[in-house]
Amino acid sequence: MSKQAEEKGVVGERRWLWPSFALPGVLWLIILFVTPLYAILAMAMGVSDPIFGDSLPVWNPLRWNTSTFVEVLDELLTGQLGVVFLRTLVYVAVATALSLLIGYPVAYYVARHAGRYRVLLLLLIIAPFWINYLMRMLAWVNLLTTDGYVNQILMFVGVLDAPREWLVGKHETVILGLVYGYVPFLILPLFAALDRIDQRVIEAARDLGASPAQAFLRVTLPLSSQGILAGCVIIMLPMFGDYYTATLLSGSPKTNMIAKLIEQNINTSAGGSTGAALTIVLMVFVALLMTYYLYSVARATREARS
């Protein structure tokens, strides 16, 4: 303990007290994040069992076998694997943008205009989550079949002349599934951000001559930008790991997302290493996105302080 701290005994104690609050979180991260992450790395750099032929993790970094990793990177740069990454990225980007288009007005309405119904509305937004994700996707499979309700309604309204084959490997179907599956996760943080905006700030904007549209664009939207970002991150991360939506709503290789390839590899005895290496590549990619998020949050916090 430094001399200064000894002199101010109370403060000295506090110096340990507050950081110790982080201990459970740090332990949590070590047990549930760092360890599994290392296990994946050990698997990606692993060897194949001489008898069972399955991938075994190598725990000692000095004995890591990089051949699988090199293969995966090679396939990524020279083969078709890049296409799968690109497809995944496009799906996630489009689905996120659509979710935002759908989710923002909803969150805006609930936060600003729903009055005494807001709790009810929030509950209704969360209500679909009482049903398992798979059940909801399977319901979509039924709705989207050739003679399903979606086609019937679209034909009744006159949008379609003939039933559309939604389930035979259509990009839009998978994106629709993703949007449907994840949009409520976007609405909640957006709602929180919009709810926090001080009504008086907007009134001030109006008083100073801004039209409603200007007030929205120059005050509300910038003030909710952190909520938008947080919501997008929250839905993008699980979307990158989603292999189910495409499997259920399509099943065609044309719509396979990267997580499907990981899943297919991991479920075989020989593919464990490849699956792990793909996982790492995906994580690095997602980590880059996260870095941008953290960076922009930090910048926004700085700006808010100054």
Partner 1 sequence: MAFHPRERSPWGRCMSRREALRLMAGTAAAGGLLVGCGSGSSSSSSASRVVVGSREDPVKQPLYDDNPMIDSGMEPEKGPLRLYNWSDYIYTRVLKDFEKEFDVEVELTTFYNLEEATQKLRTGKVDFDVFVPTAEIIPKFVAGKLLQPLNHDYLPNLKKNIWPMLADPYYDKGSRYTVPYTVYLTGIGWRTDMVDTDVAAMDNPWEAFWDPEYKGIAGLYDDYRETIGVGMYKDGITDINSASPDDLKAAQNNLIELTDLVNIRYTIDGAYSKLPEGVFGIHHAWSGDMVYAPYYMPKGDDPSVLRYVWPPKAQGEAGGYVSNDNLAVLKGAEHPVLGHMFLNYMLDDEVAIKNFGWNGYQPPINKLEPNKLIEDGTIVKNLETTVIVQSDFDMGQTPQQLTPEEDKQWLDAWSRVQQGG
Return the SS3 of 209: coil
The Cα-based distances of 232 to 133, 183, 186, 240, 277 in angstroms read: 19, 9, 6, 12, 26
Under the binding rule (CB under 8 A), the answer on residue 268 touching partner 1 is yes
Under the binding rule (CB under 8 A), the answer on residue 293 touching partner 1 is no
Residue 273 and residue 67: Cα distance in Å, rounded?
10
C-beta of 166: minimal distance to partner 1 in Å? 11
CB nearer to partner 1: pick between 11 and 168: 168
Among 2, 80, 199, 306, binds partner 1 (CB under 8 A): 80
C-beta of 208: minimal distance to partner 1 in Å? 41
Q: In the range 44-73, which residues lie near partner 1 by CB under 8 A?
A: 48-57, 59
Residue 31 and residue 294: Cα distance in Å, rounded?
23
Give the other-Cβ count within 10 Å of 125's Cβ: 18
CB nearer to partner 1: pick between 55 and 224: 55
Under the binding rule (CB under 8 A), the answer on residue 109 touching partner 1 is no
C-beta of 103: minimal distance to partner 1 in Å? 18
Under the binding rule (CB under 8 A), the answer on residue 274 touching partner 1 is yes
The Cα-based distances of 245 to 113, 141, 249, 254 in angstroms read: 34, 10, 6, 13
Give the other-Cβ count within 10 Å of 268's Cβ: 13
Among 253, 291, 292, 301, binds partner 1 (CB under 8 A): 253
Would you say 202 and 113 are in contact if contact means Cβ atoms under 8 Å apart? no
The structure tokens 């309204």 sit at: 157
Return the SS3 of 47: strand
Return the SS3 of 198: coil
CB nearer to partner 1: pick between 34 and 119: 34
CB nearer to partner 1: pick between 39 and 114: 39
C-beta of 154: minimal distance to partner 1 in Å? 18
C-beta of 22: minimal distance to partner 1 in Å? 20
C-beta of 233: minimal distance to partner 1 in Å? 9
Query: Which of 156-164, 222-230, 266-274, 295-303 is the region at the interface with partner 1 (rule: CB under 8 A)?
Result: 266-274
C-beta of 45: minimal distance to partner 1 in Å? 12
Q: In the range 205-234, which residues lie near partner 1 by CB under 8 A?
A: 234
C-beta of 296: minimal distance to partner 1 in Å? 17
Give the other-Cβ count within 10 Å of 301's Cβ: 11
Which tokens go with 221?
Answer: 């939207």
Query: Which of 80-88, 104-112, 151-159, 207-215 is the region at the interface with partner 1 (rule: CB under 8 A)?
Result: 80-88
Q: In the range 122-141, which residues lie near partner 1 by CB under 8 A?
A: 132-134
Would you say 260 and 246 are in contact if contact means Cβ atoms under 8 Å apart? yes
CB nearer to partner 1: pick between 216 and 293: 293
Under the binding rule (CB under 8 A), the answer on residue 12 touching partner 1 is no
The Cα-based distances of 157 to 152, 162, 173 in angstroms read: 9, 12, 20
Sequence-distant (6+) residues with CB within 8 A of 148 are 142, 166
Residue 118 and residue 89: Cα distance in Å, rounded?
34
Largest Cα span, the chain: 84
Q: In the range 138-197, which residues lie near partner 1 by CB under 8 A?
A: 145, 165, 167-169
Under the binding rule (CB under 8 A), the answer on residue 237 touching partner 1 is yes
